[in-house]
Chains A and B, each alone.
Chain A
Amino acid sequence: MTARTEAEEALEDNAARKRATVRRYLRHPSFMIGAIGIGLLLLVALFAPWISPHSPTRTDLMNTLSQPSATYWLGTDQFGRCVLSRLIHGAQVSLQVGFFVVLISLSAGTLLGAVAGYAGGFVERALVAIIDILLAFPSFLLALALVAARGNTLDSIIIAVAIAYTPRVAAVMRSVVLTIRPRPFIEASRAIGLSTWTIIIRHVIPNALPPVIVVATVSAATAILAEAGLSFLGLGVQPPTPTWGNVIAEGQTAITTNPLISLSAGLCIAFTVIVLNLLGDGLRDTLDPQMRRNTGKLL
């Protein structure tokens, strides 16, 4: 037996565990596909002005509704705009909506859910009742009504979708918090006299974070679908600014002659949603096997 201190062994164990965690991520196919897919989308959105072959709004009236060609890889729409360039720029709107909606609804939902799951007594009952009632409103309809009342600029769309989907995040968070509440370290924090707020912010929320990260990916996907729906109905960001939803709507008029316009825009949305879901599945499997149950019912 070589003489090794316990500390050395512990250190080595720790490093090995970290390596094992990294390996687990790299080996998880859903996680890798999801992460690479999101990375690609981010690059496309960030460098859209440089990689798109044409301006997304420049009209070429000599070439309306043209089939795919060397100049226009995916053809042109009824105003002669390059469909590929519109799709590339459309990624900007979708990803912004996904990112900011998650930021808002997750912060609000996490806080609400944590309080509703932890506070107990009247506050808890009241919050749970409010969340339940809000859940009765079809989220998409709520977003629709809110956009209708606030106008359809990008930020009002983001706020509308965020408000509409916050109750769902809050409901998931509460179920997560309910599983954390009985754990010994919460009991211990209460025993040493920490205030409820301190416990919620310092202990409950950090421990609920792994499921929240999973919820974030799924919510981003839902938000992107909702924005696309609004755009499709003509209530999203207004043309000529390209969004995937309004490309589909505009392509609908030429669906039989130039189906590629609507089809390719739909594939962009589906690709984004699929990679987000795969990333979420991968995170769910790798972060903590226990939480499958908590986030399993998420919509």
Chain B
Amino acid sequence: MSTMFELRDLTAAVPGEAGPVRLVEDVSLQVQAGETLAIVGESGSGKTVTFTSALGLLPKPGRVIAGQALLEGEDLLQLSPEDLRRRRGARIGMVFQDPLTGLNPVFRIGDQISEVLRAHLPISRAEARERAIALLARVQIPDPARRVDDYPHQFSGGMRQRVLIAMAIALGPRVLIADEPTTALDVTVQAQILDLLTDLRQADGMAMVLITHDLGVVARQADRVAVMYAGRVVETGLVEEVFRAPRHPYTISLFRSIPDLESPAGAKLAPISGAPPDPARRPAGCAFAPRCFAVEESAGCLRDRPALNADPHAVACHRAGMLGPAP
């Protein structure tokens, strides 16, 4: 397998009153062809920022201050804005969270897909329209030749997400980043969209990054998972391994906080107490220390920021070696 997309020590920040505020810090990830990497974490943990900054889409005044974002070995962050634009949409696609606001309300569906095609390919309007219809068919929209002339408000949420997926895969990208593609949708529609994404990934051999906070989705769809907390990756590995034996106290707490079909009825859930730290006021040591059940001053939890170790199932925790398998 070849590495399609890789982030190396990516750090992005916004200017703050006391120097830059780091939204994401030293994020290193990679995803192989045909593989799905899930990114898990609470809202505000930097999941979305990581990928928008890698694609040069971070809104001002945010900017990447260190690191690399390698698409098939080429660092996107070194490209000119025009070269980066040519990669975006063509070789790396992105699907966003909210399909209801993601489509332009005053343009026909077909025109919006054509816009993407014509941004990258020297094709005629008629040709672009034909390809738009084929793409709508590919994302399983019934009667695509008629629906191509509809406006977004004539589509349901799930259908709109299909259209946005059609736009993202229009040019056959090697990498597809799906940022909580189902969060805004009905439960019944969620599974259809995820299955569609999996089908497309398998058919084209794309590498996929699936950003989510739903551990159930991770278990069903992903090969590997990276857990993010306060702008950093705190644990990463194969989904089976991480789910079988989570090693970071945050990951462990995350599993304890969700209901589980196998747990007995009436069993108590254990929500994680406290809230993630404000990016401008992260503690000196481990960012999770204030909420951690295993915090230990002598281990350096309050003093040093733990680095992600080099294991295939990597974890960033001073106490990882001392913690047994999850209860």
Q: Do A and B touch directly, given a CB cutoff of 8 Å in the complex?
A: no
- Give A contacts to B, CB under 8 Å: none
- Give B contacts to A, CB under 8 Å: none
